[in-house]
Amino acid sequence: MRLVTFSLPDGPPRLGAEVDGHLVDLTALSAEENVNLPQDLLSLIRAGDFGLHTTQVLLSRRTLESLRPHVRDRDEIVPHAPFRPGKIIGVGLNYVEHIAESGRALGTGEERPPRPVLFSKPGTAITGPGDPIHHNGDLTSQLDWECELAVVIGRTARRVSEADAWEHVFGFSIINDISARDQRRSGQWFFSKGQDTYAPFGPVVVTRDAVPCPPELDLSLRVNGEVKQKSNTRHMLFPIPRLIADISSGVMLEPGDVIATGSPAGVGAGLNPPQFLRPGDLVEATIESIGTLTNPVVDAR
Ligand code: MG
- 217, 290 contact by CB (below 8 A): yes
Describe the strand order of the beta sheet including 226-232 as a list of residue ranges. 133-135, 291-299, 282-287, 218-223, 226-232
The answer to whether 210 and 2 have CB atoms below 8 angstroms apart is yes
Distance (Å) from CA 51 to ligand 1 centroid:
30
Three-state DSSP state, 55:
helix
Amino acid at 10: D
- Amino acid in the structure at residue 145: W
Tell me how far the alpha carbon of residue 181 lies from the centroid of ligand 1, in angstroms.
11
Spatial distance between the Cα atoms of 213 and 209, rounded to a whole number of angstroms: 8
Ligand 1 centroid to residue 245 C-alpha, Å: 19
Name 253's Cβ contacts closer than 8 Å, sequence gap at least 6. 87, 89, 153, 156, 157, 158, 160, 168, 244, 247, 259
Give CATH for domain 88-299: 3.90.850.10
Closest by Cα among 251, 243, 253, 261 to 86: 253
Find the 264 Cα to ligand 1 centroid distance in Å.
Answer: 9
Round to whole Å and give the CA distance between 234 and 214. Answer: 8
Q: What is the DSSP string of 174-215?
A: EEE--EEGGG-BTTB-HHHH-STT-EEEEEEEEEGGGS-SS-
Q: Cβ(255)–Cβ(48) under 8 Å?
A: yes
Q: Which residues contact 49 (CB under 8 A, 6 or more apart)?
A: none
DSSP 95: B
Distance 249 CA to ligand 1 centre (A): 21
Contact 195, 185 (CB under 8 A): no
Q: Can you give the pLDDT at residue 101?
A: 86
For residue range 134-172, list pLDDT tens digits in order: 999 999 999 999 999 999 999 999 999 999 999 999 999
pLDDT for 160-205, tens place per residue?
A: 999 999 999 999 999 999 999 999 999 899 999 999 999 999 999 9
Cα(175) to centroid of ligand 1, in Å? 9
At what angle are helices 49-60 and 26-33 packed, to 10 degrees? 80
Find the 66 Cα to ligand 1 centroid distance in Å: 43
The rounded Å distance from CA 162 to ligand 1 centre is 22
Average pLDDT, the chain: 96
Q: Quote the ligand 1 centre to 252 CA distance (angstroms).
A: 21
Going from the Cα of 27 to the center of ligand 1, the distance in angstroms, rounded, reads 34
Ligand 1 mean position, distance from CA 2 (Å): 24
Given the DSSP bridges, would you call strands 22-25 and 291-299 parallel, antiparallel or unpaired?
A: unpaired
270: pLDDT confidence band, cut at 50, 70 and 90? very high
Supply the pTM of this predicted model. Answer: 0.97
Whether the CB-CB separation of 284 and 264 falls below 8 Å is answered with: no
- 90, 192 in Cβ contact below 8 A? no
Tally of CA atoms within 13 A in the half-sphere of 110 that contains its CB? 1
Q: How far is the CA of 23 from the centre of ligand 1 (A)?
A: 30
What's the DSSP call for residue 132? P
Q: Is the pLDDT of residue 46 over 90?
A: yes
| pLDDT value at residue 104 | 86
CB 191: neighbour CB atoms within 10 A?
Answer: 13
Among 218, 213, 209, residue whose Cα is nearest residue 287: 218
Report the alpha-carbon distance of residue 131 to residue 279 in Å, rounded.
13
What pLDDT shows up at residue 99?
86
CA 95 / ligand 1 centre spacing (Å): 10
Going from the Cα of 69 to the center of ligand 1, the distance in angstroms, rounded, reads 41
Q: How far is the CA of 31 from the centre of ligand 1 (A)?
A: 40
Q: Distance from the CA of 263 to the center of ligand 1, in angstroms?
A: 5
- CA 123 to ligand 1 center in whole angstroms: 15
Domain boundaries of the chain, sorted by first residue:
2-80, 88-299
